[in-house]
Amino acid sequence: MGNCLKSPNTDDISLLRGSDSQDGSDPGLGPPPPYQESVPIYHPSPNISRPANQLTEEEQIKIAQRLGLINHLPTGIYDGSNKKAKECVICMGDFLLGDMLRFLPCMHTYHKECIDDWLMRSFTCPSCMEPVDAALLTTYETS
């Protein structure tokens, strides 16, 4: 049985070169272009993509409240003792000794910079989707 995709005068090497002729004179299609995808830029809301001096007072208050809640979440430095938490699932990077971490009430751990940026857009844990603000509010009410 023959290969129905090959022409009678084509060998495997010419297929790899992208040409049907034995001498390589036909350039064929060539390699595909490099994969390029634009990285989306996220903003807290469509209205808050303006410079800070152009935000309304209500928008500035909303951002300040969110920053305040984020800053109440505990932080720490990775010392390698926690064998369960090995990587940040936001950036997919391993925790290195000395990395600043932030701990969420659901007990998930992330790089401080990664989770702070995430929480400015969504106040849920990226791993379990538990609302972070509800857990913070209950800790405020109990103390």
Residue 42 belongs to some domain of the structure? no
Q: CATH number for the domain including 68?
A: 3.30.40.10
Average pLDDT over residues 11-15: 57
User: Is residue 44 in some structural domain?
Assistant: no
Q: Residues 6 or more apart from 85 whose CB is under 8 A from it? A: 78, 95, 101, 109
Indicate whether 72 and 125 sit together in one domain: yes
Q: Which of 7-21, 60-74, 76-90, 105-119 has the lowest mean pLDDT?
A: 7-21
Helices (H), 49-131: 57-71, 112-121
Question: What percent of the chain shows pLDDT beyond 90?
Answer: 34
pLDDT value for 52: 64
This prediction has a pTM of 0.57
CA distances from 130 to 20, 118, 127, 133, 134 (A): 58, 14, 8, 9, 9
Q: Where in the sequence is the domain holding 23, given as residue range(s)?
A: 1-31
Q: What is the pLDDT of residue 42?
A: 45
Same domain, 23 and 61: no
Instruction: Examine residue 86 and state whether it is found in any structural domain, yes or no.
Output: yes
In a domain, 63, yes or no: yes
Q: Is the pLDDT score of 26 beyond 80?
A: no
Q: Residues 93-139: pLDDT tens digits?
A: 999 999 999 999 999 999 999 999 999 988 899 999 999 876 565 55
Residues 16 and 69 in one domain: no
Q: How many domains does the chain have?
A: 2
Q: Are residues 94 and 131 in the same domain?
A: yes
Q: Is the pLDDT of residue 57 over 90?
A: no
| Residue 96 domain flag | yes
* Residue scoring higher pLDDT (105 or 50): 105
Residue 53 phi/psi, 5-degree rounding, is -75, -5
- 8-state DSSP, 48: G
| Model pLDDT, residue 82 | 76
